[in-house]
Every structure is written in C-alpha cells, then in structure tokens.
Structure 1
Amino acid sequence: MKVCTDACVLGAAAELAAATRILDVGTGTGLLALMAAQRNATAHMEAVELEPQAAAQAAANAARSPWADRVRIHALSLAAFAATAPAPFDHILCNPPFFRHSLRSPDAARTTARHAAPDTLSFGELAAFAATFLTPDGQLTVLLPPPEMQHFEREASLAGLFVASRLILCHRPGSKPLRHVTRFSRAATAALSQPLPIHEEASEAYSAPFRDLLRDFYLAF
C-alpha cells in the first residue's frame, strides 16, 4: 500500500497551514508525512509505523526528500509511541486500517495495512490518543469509508472529539460515496460537508476540483 488516491486526497486536503507539530499515524511509506512537509514549510513531522519494512522504507524516503531535517519516523505501535510522552500536536493525520469483516489478503503486510483491530490499531485507541496528545485547538483528520467513519465518529465523540468538516470522495458527481476525509476538533459545531468527485460525470478525465487539489503532487497535472 505504497501510494493510493485516497491517501493523496487526505494529504492534500488536511488543514495544515497553522500547524507547527504534525503526527502521521500509520505512515506506511511516509506519504502523508512527506505531503505535510511539502505543504507546510516550517512544521516538524513525526510519523509512527508498526510494520518494520514499511517503517524502514518511510525512513529512507524521508532521508532522500528535501525535508529530511523535519520528518522523523518511529518504528513503534501507537501505544508504544504514547508511552514516550510526546509533546502535543497541532494536527494528527491517519489513514487507518479499516476493513473489519472482509477477506484477509494472503500478503500479511497488506492485511496489516488494510484491516482494522484486533490485527492492529483500533478506532477507540486512535481517538483516545488524539484526545490526549492534541493541543487545545488541535485537529485530527481521518480517512475512512462511510460505514467505518460512522463507527469512528462514535468513538471520537466518546473521547471528546467532534466532526468539524467532511470531504466526501466519490467516483463521479452524484455517485456513491467512497471515502470520507473527516476533520475532528474539541469544539462541537455544525459540520460542513463537501463532495469531491474524482472523475468528470461522463468521462474518465479527472474532475477540475480533483485536479486543483492534487496539482502540487501529481506530475500529470
């Protein structure tokens, strides 16, 4: 799971301009941490990754990037990272494992990346961590399919985090939602929702909003 459209949308859409400390939970190959470093020229990025080979590749990718001095990879579980008592974060990003009931892949690493607890990270653990380690005005942005996001929203509210906005990713205008990119904060306010179609209505061409969002990251644009 090196790079996928979903994660690129999360990395490009998260509100990071005011952040000075950003955490990427389950960084994989470091995609979100590196996108955050590209978008915010002064913030420091921490990234945690449980799977050793992915963490090693993330560290190598960060070292080769122009932002090597601002990206730090931790080959740890989230619980182990929490035990280090990190300083609070202004923004936490996470594209968590989310397939709870579907068929496991024969590739163990792919299963770890895609499937939710008990294999790896539970939604409750992620929400509780964010509630503990976000600054008072900090934000958590999470990418999940709509059914799993409903589950995560319940866990987040129990931890004292509430939906601030939703970006609804779909194939085409009016089509079934594929993913929600949802931003959480400590303030309970009316949530704003916005659709983001990947393609134009009647063709395989990328939509104008999708191209505008990913322009700084997709070489084809």
Structure 2
Amino acid sequence: MANSYFQFKEFRVEQDKCAMKVCTDSCVFGAYVEVASAKNILDIGTGTGFLSLMVAQRSHAGITAVEINPEAQQQAAENFAASSWANRLQLHPVSLQEFAKYDQQTYDVILANPPFFLSSLKSDNAAKNTAKHTGDLFFEDILAFAQQHLTPTGKLYLLLPPAEATHFAALATSHTLYLADTLEVYTRIGGKCIRHIQTYTFTEVPPKLKQLYIREADSVTYTSEFTALLKDYYLHL
C-alpha cells in the first residue's frame, strides 16, 4: 500500500484521499519543466497538488491549479495551505472545460499529467479511471485551452506514455502547437521507456530528442542525471 503522504525536502504531500499517488515519473516531470522566468503557471488536473508545489519551490510565479475530483480538490487545498507558497497557489475546483468558460488569464507555462490511456482496460476503481483514462478530459480540450491561453512565447508540457505522446503530437499541429522537444524517461539503463515529457510551442522547429535513465543497469542505483534533477526535492539525494 502506498504511503498516506510523501515527504519532499521543502514540503509534504498528503495523498490518502487521492487515487493517483506521487510517483517517480511525475517527480521527474515536475523537476524538468522550465519555470524560472514564468510569471503565471497553470497545472491541469493537479490531483494532490504536488506538481504545483514542485514548480512553486523554484519559481516566483503565480500558480493556478484545476481539479475535477472532489477528494483530490480537498487534498490539494490542504497541501497548498500547508506549504510555504500558499499565497501564490490558487485552486479552481472545476473541470478544465468549465474553467475555460471564465478564465481570462494567459500563462507562460501550462503543464499537464493528464488522463492518458486511450484504449487500455479500465480498473474497478472509478476515481483511478478518471485520473488515468481519457474521458472527462480529452487531449483536444487541453490543446484548445493552450491555443487560447498560452502566451506567444509560452510552453505547454505534457507527461504521457510513448504511444499516447505520439497521438498527442499529431493532434497538436491542428491547434498551431508544435513539438519542440521530447525527454524519453527510462526505468533504468537498458530498460523500458515508460514516459515521454513533451514540450510544445507556437514556433515550428525541428524537435529535439533526449533521454533520462532513472536508475543504473543494476536497477537500484540512481543515475547521476536523475540525482542532479531531483536533488532539490528528494530527501536522501
């Protein structure tokens, strides 16, 4: 059973109310996105709120988080309130579709770890299905929102499995958003690629491709690249 909380160096994430817990690939995502110069950041489907907290730690931005699930809304609100950056974190307890109807803000960074399994079998856990499967939140909704609310030089970041990432990239061009780079995340050296972290912009450029290996070939030791990325967050790095 997953822990009821996850302790980072500068904040704690309570997660007992959320179906989707803090996981390694999402931590890589939160540490990877470029936010140092951002003034406004949007976190779509915040869950426990830990991605918002990760980017709050290393930016001075105002951060807006959107979450549809009632239990996750409560959890994120509590985690935000307990953090050192509560004054910069704002939670909207609505779907992205509802949020789009009234939001007038533009964002330098939009990040999403969205429901992503397009065709895989669903589990018996309804909350986990909402968090992991496209249904309540479609890729097209993310793209339509980003097209309207991303600043001209802004960036949209997505964390997706490889197959869904390819699908998203094909959809993005119809919304004048173009894949700028991809970070392939591997379980270990010689292991499986489990996620793609994609960066989209309004400028069409030849996309760059990079790799990150979480662990060495021994499946135990963290790689130096992973350690460098997460050292400001993980307690024992």
How does the TM-score come out when normalised to structure 1? 0.96
Matches within 5 A, 1:26-105: 26-40=45-59, 42-105=60-123
Distance across 1 between alignment mates of 2:74 and 2:218: 42
Residue 24 (structure 2) pairs with residue 5 (structure 1): yes
Q: 1:194 aligns with which of 189, 205, 210?
A: 210
Q: Which deviates more from structure 2 when the two are superposed, residues 83-92 or residues 17-26?
A: 83-92
Q: Which runs of 4+ in 1 moved over 3 A?
A: none
Shift of 1:174: 3.9
Residue 196 (structure 2) pairs with residue 180 (structure 1): yes
**Unmatched segments (≥5 aa) in structure 2:** 1-19
Q: 1:108 aligns with which of 115, 126, 151?
A: 126
Matches within 5 A, 1:122-201: 122-201=138-217
- Aligned-pair identity in percent equals 46
Paired position in structure 1 for 2:36: 17
Shift of 1:86: 2.6
Distance across 1 between alignment mates of 2:220 and 2:206: 34
Name the amino acid aligned to 1:68.
A
Task: Please give the per-residue CA displacement for 1:138-196, whole angstroms capped at 9, x wherever unaligned.
Answer: 10000001100011111111101011111110012243311000100000001111110
State the SS of the aligned residue for 1:205: coil
The 8 Å contact of residues 128 and 156 in structure 1, kept in 2 or not, is answered as no
Task: Please give the per-residue CA displacement for 1:125-148, whole angstroms capped at 9, x wherever unaligned.
Answer: 111111110011110000001100
- Are residues 65 and 144 of structure 1, via their aligned partners in 2, closer, same or farther at CA, if it must alter by over 3 Å? same
Distance across 2 between alignment mates of 1:133 and 1:5: 29
Task: Please give the per-residue CA displacement for 1:50-70, whole angstroms capped at 9, x wherever unaligned.
Answer: 101101110110000000000
